[in-house]
Amino acid sequence: MLGCNIDEWDATKLAEQLTRHLPEELRGPCSKRIHENNVTGSDVMAMIKDMCKPGSQGQYRDHPTFKKIFDDEWEGDGWRKWPKKMAVRSPDQAMKTFFSTLINESASVVVSKVEKRIFEIIKAEYRNYEFDSYFSEEVWCIASGVESIAVSENEGGDHTEGFYISPCGWQRLALKVIPDNTKAFQGEEWQNWHKAYHGTRGCAVSSIVENGLLQPGAVVAGQKLKSLHGAAGKKKGISVIYASPCLEYSAHHIYTAGRGRRDDQAKHTMPIQLSSEAKEDDLESATGLSWEDVVAAGSTYAQFVFEVRVKPGTYRVQGNTIGSWPRAGDYKGPAPKTAFMPYSNSCLSENLEWLIEDAANIVCTGVMVRQLPQSLFKQTQLHIEAMGKISGFDPKKGCTRERCYGTPNGAPNGVAWEYNNAPTGGDTLSYKASAEWVRYTGKTSSLIEKAYQQYQRFVFIGTPKGAAGPYAIHFGTEWDKDEKHGPEQRRADADKDQGWRRRAVRR
């Protein structure tokens, strides 16, 4: 069961492990209730399974085991001391994160053939528990950090930075960012720095948590760090740290090393097997389980990817460099030099790699954990199949799915994008020619068009002049024909109940 011994915990062990995640005001009362009611680890695991059954409509706070632990404290003042966790999530979502953190931290992982618990790899003094989160909701584009324009190298064009895509299916184990003189991040930059990700080998997690991300050549514990990711984009002999705004890109497992391709140029993670039974690198589960019932899985794979914040204006941008990724023709360098199949439906190919030349400008804010029912090799194959289906990719012809929404490609005067400017409360979702259409600026229109041509689900366009907030384009049926709406402009924030802020867009 995930190599996790929660089932074996008696009341004393459960109280010790569970209450360390709670606000201080709740630790004593909840520990007392656990002992008085003799709540054991197997009781908690049974509750989690009950709540995670497909179709379950129950809430944790209504479950008998939950009441035995919390009950009176749920409505008391103690929870008000946990505002950062409760304010951004519903109470039940907060509890799902709370219990999934308990499972993940107590799970066994095999790293370099040695079995350890996650809480042994990521020590408690580095953890920031109140910012843990399990992302089970739908994929969404959310503004994060100051908006800025980055120019991708190799003629990759302009990109609006300052957003992230909600990492559906991942859990964040949050880390403390301790201000010191080694980082430009002094604790007040959360609203400004850009969110990104850094993939790593499982055996490097503990070192990065304790020492931060450093360039190759830096010395840690008497050992000089070696480059594991090649040197794509390196200039003037300056070593770089790679990050990506695309979580899936940072999670890519490089599986074709030694086949004559440029696979050593990209970031990667190594497979880590959850469960004590999964000790061989080629062992995998074919059960097809999702997170909701993975607590009952005998063996399943997991990945570690670091969530990071990067100081705006201090990184360079370049495109995809994974030579093994499907492409039409030869590898000629980072996208757009190479005609790659789009890597992601939420991050343009020319914006997949950020190169940071000074370690002071990047901090680790969390460890992202994803549990998979198949090996990372198979996960990559599934991702390739999904992107190939969306784009109609052909190795000889490239992407073949037509891009002719509104105006055929090759129009003599090019194309432009417009949004429905009906007043609030009016028919803002009408695609009729008689609607009040307003054209985006040339740069914004070009960005939308590039995303459209790359079969994106979202593109972040920032805050237009005079707008109330940042926006993103959701391409709807032009991304996936099974979507229920056409291309729309939407606010790029966490509020998904925003029917009054949706506007039709046309090409």
304-313 pLDDT per residue, tens: 789 999 999 9
Please compute the mean of the pLDDT values over residues 222-227 and round it to a whole number.
Answer: 54
Give the pLDDT confidence score for residue 31 in this predicted structure.
92
Give the pLDDT confidence score for residue 474 in this predicted structure.
95
Reduced 3-state DSSP string for 344-401:
CCCCCHHHCEEEECCHHHEEEEEEEEEEECCCHHHHHHHHHHHHHHHHCEECCCEECC
Whether residue 178 lies inside any domain: the answer is: yes
**491: enclosing H helix or E strand:** strand 488-491
Which 3 state secondary structure label does DSSP give 231? coil
Whether residue 274 lies inside any domain: the answer is: no
Q: Is the pLDDT of residue 10 over 80?
A: yes
Give the pLDDT confidence score for residue 88 in this predicted structure.
46
pLDDT tens for 353-396 read: 999 999 899 999 998 887 777 777 788 899 999 999 999 999 99
For residue 66, how far is the Cα from the chain centroid? 30
Give the end of a domain, one of 92, 107, 122: 107
Clarify whether residues 158 and 90 are in a common domain. Answer: no
Q: How confident is the model at residue 204 (pLDDT cuts 50, 70, 90)?
A: confident
Q: What is the b/e burial string over 161-194, where b = at least 16 CB atoms within 10 angstroms of the residue's CB?
A: bbbbbbbeebbbbbbebeeeeebbbeeebeeebb
The dihedral built from the CA positions of residue 366, 371, 377 and 379, taken in this order, carries a sign that is negative
Q: How confident is the model at residue 341 (pLDDT cuts 50, 70, 90)?
A: very high
Please compute the mean of the pLDDT values over residues 65-79 and round it to a whole number.
Answer: 70
Q: Is the pLDDT of residue 405 over 80?
A: yes
Residue 30 near residue 70, CB atoms below 8 Å: yes
**Which structural domain range is residue 487 located in?**
418-506
Whether residue 336 lies inside any domain: the answer is: no
Q: Is the pLDDT of residue 202 over 90?
A: no
466 vs 5, residue with greater confidence? 466
Percent of the chain residues topping a pLDDT of 70 = 72
Whether residue 468 lies inside any domain: the answer is: yes
Whether residue 279 lies inside any domain: the answer is: no
Nearest to 215 by CA among 199, 197, 238, 235: 238
Clarify whether residues 52 and 95 are in a common domain. Answer: yes
Structure tokens at 313: 């204006």
388 vs 123, residue with greater confidence? 388
Q: Is the pLDDT of residue 445 over 90?
A: yes
Structure tokens at 417: 């994008």
pLDDT tens for 319-338 read: 999 988 999 999 999 999 99
Clarify whether residues 384 and 431 are in a common domain. Answer: no
Structure tokens at 229: 């990711």
Clarify whether residues 370 and 462 are in a common domain. Answer: no
Give the pLDDT confidence score for residue 459 in this predicted structure.
97
Clarify whether residues 140 and 211 are in a common domain. Answer: yes
The dihedral built from the CA positions of residue 429, 433, 434 and 439, taken in this order, carries a sign that is positive
Q: How confident is the model at residue 210 (pLDDT cuts 50, 70, 90)?
A: confident
Give the end of a domain, one of 77, 107, 137: 107
Clarify whether residues 464 and 347 are in a common domain. Answer: no
Whether residue 485 lies inside any domain: the answer is: yes
Q: Decide the pairing of beta strands 393-394 and 398-399.
A: antiparallel
Give the pLDDT confidence score for residue 449 in this predicted structure.
95
Give the pTM: 0.79
Give the pLDDT confidence score for residue 371 in this predicted structure.
72
Clarify whether residues 183 and 212 are in a common domain. Answer: yes
88 vs 259, residue with greater confidence? 88
Residue 384 near residue 320, CB atoms below 8 Å: no
Clarify whether residues 437 and 489 are in a common domain. Answer: yes
Whether residue 52 lies inside any domain: the answer is: yes
> How far is residue 213's CA from residue 344's CA, in Å, rounded to a whole number?
25
Whether residue 330 lies inside any domain: the answer is: no
Clarify whether residues 251 and 356 are in a common domain. Answer: yes
Clarify whether residues 96 and 141 are in a common domain. Answer: no
What residues contact 487, with CB distance under 8 A and at least 6 apart?
Answer: 405, 473, 474, 475, 476, 477, 478, 504, 505, 506, 507
Please compute the mean of the pLDDT values over residues 10-28 and round it to a whole number.
Answer: 84
Clarify whether residues 124 and 212 are in a common domain. Answer: yes
Clarify whether residues 60 and 72 are in a common domain. Answer: yes
| Tally of domains in the chain | 3
Residue 322 near residue 252, CB atoms below 8 Å: yes
